Structure 1
Amino acid sequence: MQEDVRRKLIKAAMKAPYLGREEEHELALQWKERQDQQALHRMIMAHMRLVIAMAGKFRNFGLSMSDLIQEGHVGLLEAAARFDPEREVRFSTYATWWIRASMQDYILRNWSIVRGGTSSAQKALFFNLRRLRMKLQKAGGTTPSEDVYREVAQALRVSESDVAMMDSRLAAADASLNAPLRSDSDPTSERIDFLICDKPQPDELVREAIDGERKAQWLHQALGTLNGRELTIVRERRLSEEGATLEALGASLGISKERVRQIESRALEKLRTALVKHHPELAA
């Protein structure tokens, strides 16, 4: 919405006549029952003052007043679509919630490139904690203390860690990772150069994948030295995700669990011998 368009909208809204209770009720009925667009237009224009006033309350968030008014207008239309004229409630009272919610959602989406919480508790935390920070700054304070965190957490029914996390987001502005650090020693350095990644480097991943394939092939060859019963026990006990118990294998093979343990121990020793024979480096 351009600035001149916003001025025209505000001017038109201020000139729009107020609606009495009976007239408002009649217009709401016409819109709900007959989808009368003219009735909707009169209702909307009569309440655009409310949108403009609400936008003024959120002007300190650094966002365009035109965009806030536009979002409030969307909320006003949503309120008109949901309003039930048969209830003993003025449209302005009902619409206020939708206008505020629409603007708050817009602020949360655009205030930072880092998405904040979208639950009602997180929204309340964002706006209440920011208001608290502004009061502290005006009073000459710095940041909320742990006691304040605790009070806010109890009042809004969120954890203290959520309060601390939200406060850290409010305290720091967005910054590009490609922004130069302007260091005299290295003027070409960017913020992204100092980010630490715990994940392996690409060459390490490739090396691990190749080693894994090679060792899997070695193991497959070594398994060929086992007889049928030994191979069954090793596969069921060592190479399956769940791992069969000695009792289960004994019952399946018709032998005792102690005999299963002995065969397994012998099979593992045969595997170790076969692997070391062909690949001595594994003995280390």
Structure 2
Amino acid sequence: MPFIDTPETQKANRRFIRESMDVPLLSREHELELAYRWRNDRDEAALHELVTAYMRLVISTASRFRNYGLPMGDLVQEGTVGLMQAAARFEPEREVRFSTYAAWWIRSAMQDFILRNWSVVRTGTTAAQKALFFNLRRLRAKIDDGVSTQLDEAKRAYIAQELQVNVGEVEAMEMRLASADQSLNATISPTAEDEWQDFLPDQRPNPEEAFSQSHDGEARTAWLVEALSGLSPREQTIIRERRLRDDSRTLEELGKVLGISKERVRQIEHRALQKMRASLMRHAEDPADQLLLAHA
């Protein structure tokens, strides 16, 4: 489902950004006081003041990711989630500014959101792919000569070395970023009526093949039942336990149950399989079925 960024939404976002940027910055001492009040006393007023003061950090980070085709408002929302997570985990006694700590959480929340929503195809499922996704354009712009539209082997090798990934991963991400999602309901050209989905092959069997497969399957099942009925009770037991169960029993286990040696079980099983094969071969008129049954 596409994101809707209406003029009204954009206007509301601009107003929110202006108001957030007007909030005064916190001194180090007051920031620590708010952090302690929230952690120790669960003071929601302190949390609200702390988070509101650093919404400018969320907005600044969102502006750096706005070229990925997602609405600014959605990026700010995700960054706010990251800011709240930072507030929940912040340890003021470590004497680190909250803005420094929160920056990582805000950036991580936005990056995860972009990776989830940039394409219907899952992108950046590993740390290497994530690094490639967010740094490939930057490094490409750094080494781009303005002539070639694709990276050559030397440039791919440079990017792979910079990001500590394989050259193949660089090439795969380059192709992924160059191709946008396209609806299968889109027409193949502006003047055509045919859609892309009209040219997708149907891998399912046609009605004639489906009926033939169903009919043949039923026939072979009947042959198998008949072949089993021609065995003695002990032979049937061994075949069912050894061949027709997902968790087949061993020769030794069956030997203990039947009171015979495992070698005798093997001999009976071999003889029963020969009887069944002979019974099945009498029904098989198709040479392909005969070959299949001969090796069963």
What is the TM-score when the length of structure 2 is the normalising length? 0.76
User: Does the alignment pair 1:189 with 2:194?
Assistant: yes
Which is further off, 73-82 or 103-112? 73-82
Cα drift, residue 162 of structure 1? 3.5
Which is further off, 272-281 or 74-83? 272-281
Structure 1 residues 235, 173: CA separation in 2 closer, same or farther (over 3 Å shift)? same
Task: Indicate the residue corresponding to 2:31 in structure 1.
Answer: 24
Instruction: Name the SS for the 1:9 alignment partner.
Output: helix
Which is further off, 245-254 or 88-97? 245-254
Cα drift, residue 121 of structure 1? 3.3
- Distance (Å, rounded) in 1 between the aligned partners of 2:117 and 2:35: 33
Task: Indicate the residue corresponding to 2:218 in structure 1.
Answer: 213
* Deviation digits for residues 235-283 of structure 1 (CA, Å, limit 9, x no counterpart): 566556677888998997858959966x766655544443444554455
Structure 1 residues 150, 220: CA separation in 2 closer, same or farther (over 3 Å shift)? farther
- Distance (Å, rounded) in 1 between the aligned partners of 2:282 and 2:11: 85
Equivalent in 95, 103, 106 of residue 102 of structure 2: 95
Cα drift, residue 110 of structure 1? 1.7
* Deviation digits for residues 154-202 of structure 1 (CA, Å, limit 9, x no counterpart): 5545444433332222110110011111387xx3321122234555457
Contact 2:185 2:195 in 1 (8 A): yes
Structure 1 residues 213, 157: CA separation in 2 closer, same or farther (over 3 Å shift)? farther
- Distance (Å, rounded) in 2 between the aligned partners of 1:75 and 1:244: 55
Q: Which consecutive segments of 4 or more residues in structure 1 shift more than 6 A?
A: 242-253
**Alignment RMSD, CA only?**
3.6
Segments of structure 1 that go 5 or more residues without pairing to the other structure are none
Structure 1 residues 260, 86: CA separation in 2 closer, same or farther (over 3 Å shift)? closer
Alignment of 1:247-266 (within 5 A): none
* Deviation digits for residues 204-243 of structure 1 (CA, Å, limit 9, x no counterpart): 4554243222201112212333445655665566556677
Cα drift, residue 42 of structure 1? 2.6
- Distance (Å, rounded) in 2 between the aligned partners of 1:85 and 1:259: 74
- Distance (Å, rounded) in 1 between the aligned partners of 2:184 and 2:66: 28
Equivalent in 132, 144, 153 of residue 139 of structure 2: 132
Letter in 2 for 1:42: E
Equivalent in 59, 63, 88 of residue 70 of structure 2: 63
Contact 2:254 2:265 in 1 (8 A): no
Cα drift, residue 90 of structure 1? 0.7
Structure 1 residues 280, 180: CA separation in 2 closer, same or farther (over 3 Å shift)? same
What is the TM-score when the length of structure 1 is the normalising length? 0.79
Task: Indicate the residue corresponding to 1:41 in structure 2.
Answer: 48
Structure 1 residues 232, 36: CA separation in 2 closer, same or farther (over 3 Å shift)? closer
Contact 2:62 2:76 in 1 (8 A): yes
Segments of structure 2 that go 5 or more residues without pairing to the other structure are 1-7, 292-296
- Distance (Å, rounded) in 1 between the aligned partners of 2:250 and 2:45: 78
